[in-house]
Amino acid sequence: MLPRPQVKVMTATPDTSRRASPLENDPRSDELSANATVPEAACTDPADLARLVIEGLFGLILSDPHASQRLGLKAMARCDKESTAWYFWTTSRLGAFEAAPRPASPEAEPDSIVLALRYFPDPREALFTRFAPVEQRARLSSRFDSAGVPGPDSAGQVDSGLFHLGCLRIEPQGANHVGLCLSAQDRCIEYVRGDGQWQACRDVPGLRLALTVLDPLVCALSYLGRQPPALVRAWRRSSLASYIEADAGSSIRPEPSASTWEIELRGLVIPGHAGSAVPAQGATRALEQPVFEYAAEIPPHYAPWPVTPQWWQAAGWQFNAVVESGSQATMPARERGDAAAHTFSGAGDDEHKF
């Protein structure tokens, strides 16, 4: 087994020399990230578990620029104003992603935490026009700062229903492992009535955008723990769309042109924890077979979208030492060229599906 990479954890005096755009010149940079530390003890509180998993990735970004480049991540920050939120900036998108805890529901697992994923599009990108008019107006308002996220005085003021992509559940699996479960629609569609007909006012590729957060998170956990996910399963279900009346009334109806996806990954090593036997896999849902299921350490021979072989390949990534001249990362030739496997191109949202 390959040795685990040495990762410098972000402390209260962050290394600003490696902080990437867009936070380089933002006055909130130190305020947002000064407390981004990774605790060493095992977590029993769901909020602590989320911090441990996400900010373990934060430590990777600061200490290993080759790995962060391979993952397509430019910067991350944490905001603890009204509520905790993590922001992500990637090389494939101009806007910013947010992951924030969602209020617990009665049916939720007591030890797990669900993060709502949102994307704040940059007005310069073509994707901006696919968001609803109310989202476009909010994004252009003074509530957003120069980094493209809600400003210090606007935290909690941007309606949580806007810019929504999907949800990511994080749950502990034994003392040293964690499971992730992403739920998102491949097309998040809303209709409004205009000229007597229903017209789409929002058509956002929710799953593709959500994968921009999930992919580097899974790969980073595999890379840090030198262990790929022990089990990956995916389900595809029918989807719904919102129909909004002129009087602000709305209804939910089936949407035949969209699907809801659930992607489950189990047995990922928690950052900073020693590897051990992977906990037993969860029971398959009764009467519901996954469209994809795989349990092995080597990449699957066939991994159709939205699954990517990088989730397994990342456990074997090796990178050259960081030098001033900016040496290139070392990786097997078969892995080169697939770094942008899930980047959104603005077209072909239905390609390479099951």
pLDDT 10s digits, 145-178: 999 999 877 766 789 899 999 999 999 998 889 9
Q: Where are the alpha helices (DSSP H) in the chain?
A: 29-33, 46-63, 65-71, 133-140, 206-225, 310-313
CB atoms under 10 Å from CB of 230, counted, come to 22
Q: What is the share, in percent, of the chain residues with pLDDT greater than 70? A: 70
Separation of alpha carbons 120 and 165, rounded Å: 10
CB atoms under 10 Å from CB of 104, counted, come to 13
Please report the beta strands in 81-196, taking only residues with DSSP state E, as ranges in sequence order: 84-90, 96-101, 113-120, 164-173, 177-185, 188-194
The answer on pLDDT for 352 being more than 80 is no
Asked if 271 contacts 221 with a C-beta cutoff of 8 angstroms, the reply is yes
Phi and psi at residue 108, to the nearest 5°: -70, 150
Core vs surface per residue 288-318: b (16+ CB within 10 A) or e: eebebebeeeebbeebebbbbbbbbbbbbbe
Number of H helices, E strands in the chain: 6, 11
Task: Tell me what pLDDT residue 280 has.
Answer: 54
Give the mean pLDDT of the chain.
Answer: 77
The answer on pLDDT for 338 being more than 60 is no
Coil, helix or strand for 144? strand
pLDDT 10s digits, 294-331: 999 999 998 889 999 999 999 999 887 655 444 343 33
Sequence ranges of the domains in the chain:
16-182+206-238+257-335
Separation of alpha carbons 331 and 315, rounded Å: 11
Core vs surface per residue 183-199: b (16+ CB within 10 A) or e: bbbbbbbbbbeeeeeee
State the amino acid at position 237 in one-letter form: R
